[in-house]
């Protein structure tokens, strides 16, 4: 049944939260990420051809294990946003957002009239009718659940207008894609990108919208903590798993 996002609520109460981008389709891995202590998992449909049945299994695994399930969609699609929220995903992550209009359309797809344009359903997310529809609508329309990612120069320029839109729960940085868009190649730690991330964090602070950092070095992590950032993305499960497996093999192969 729909409930307030515990992750966003905890962030609002001053706690730190930690998430992971999930690119390995596996309910078992969802449970493992929860067991490791992460607070939220972003299941990815931007770069993966994932089926809806598989997503539902992953969603149920997250719910059972006590980790918040977020979904990254490839674009603003009103029908997909509504169906994902009807299924029980807590938050919709949108990559490469470059205009306030994109956010406004996403929020309209997430909220019911008169604030939005989402169609009503009394299915899984209402406990199959256990939560009265007026109460359900009031909860949905009172809580932001859209997370735009800023991954381009156009997104940087549009950020003040994006942050002015109601319904933005958080802003997530995409340093790697931002570096590519700026013509710097795959260099997410480039000084120009780092300066851009500071602009994003500053704009979010001024607007009172949480900023989620994806620190790539211990120095970056220290910097964000000193700035008071409390939401962190640990990266992507594929990369972390591969690194751990390679490091373990390297240790075993070392000669005494």
Closest CA to 151 of 99, 112, 97, 206: 97
- What are the two backbone dihedrals, phi and then psi, of residue 91, each rounded to the nearest 5 degrees? -145, 150
Q: How far is CA 196 from the centre of its chain?
A: 19
- Give 124's contacts (C-beta < 8 A, 6+ positions apart): 86, 87, 88
DSSP 125: G
**Secondary element (H or E) of residue 147:** strand 146-150
User: What is d(CA 214, CA 85) in angstroms, rounded to the nearest whole number?
Assistant: 25
Q: Where are the alpha helices (DSSP H) in 142-188?
A: 153-163, 175-181
- Rounded to 5°, the CA angle 161-163-168 comes to 135
- Give 199's contacts (C-beta < 8 A, 6+ positions apart): 156, 159
Asked if 120 and 98 touch (Cβ cutoff 8 Å), the reply is no
Q: Six-digit token pair at 202? A: 């500053």
**Secondary element (H or E) of residue 141:** helix 133-141
Is residue 190 part of the annotated active site? The answer reads no
Which entry of 13, 18, 47, 190 is annotated as an active-site residue? 47
* Catalytically active residues, by annotation: 47
């Amino acid at each position: 049944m729909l409930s307030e996002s515990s992750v966003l609520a905890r962030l609002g109460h001053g706690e730190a939260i930690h998430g992971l981008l999930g690119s390995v389709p596996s309910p078992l891995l969802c449970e493992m990420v929860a067991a490791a202590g992460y607070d939220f998992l972003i299941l990815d449909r931007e770069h993966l051809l994932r089926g809806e049945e598989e997503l539902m299994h992953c969603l149920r695994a997250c719910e059972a294990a006590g980790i918040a399930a977020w979904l990254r969609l490839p674009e603003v699609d009103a029908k997909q946003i509504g169906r994902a929220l009807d299924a029980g995903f807590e938050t919709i992550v949108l990559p490469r957002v470059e205009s306030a209009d994109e956010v406004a359309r996403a929020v309209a797809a997430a909220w019911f009239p008169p604030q939005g344009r989402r169609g009503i359903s009394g299915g899984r997310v209402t406990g199959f009718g256990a939560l009265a529809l007026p109460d359900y609508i009031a909860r949905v329309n009172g809580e932001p659940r859209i997370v735009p990612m800023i991954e381009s120069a156009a997104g940087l320029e549009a950020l003040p207008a994006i942050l002015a839109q109601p319904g933005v729960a958080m802003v997530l940085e995409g340093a790697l894609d931002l570096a590519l868009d700026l013509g710097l190649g795959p260099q997410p730690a480039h000084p120009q990108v780092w300066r851009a991330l500071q602009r994003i964090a500053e704009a979010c602070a001024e607007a009172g919208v949480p900023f989620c950092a994806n620190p790539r070095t211990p120095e970056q992590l220290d910097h964000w903590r000193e700035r008071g950032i409390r939401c962190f993305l640990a990266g992507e499960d594929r990369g972390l798993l591969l690194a751990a497996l390679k490091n373990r093999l390297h240790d075993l192969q070392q000669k005494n």
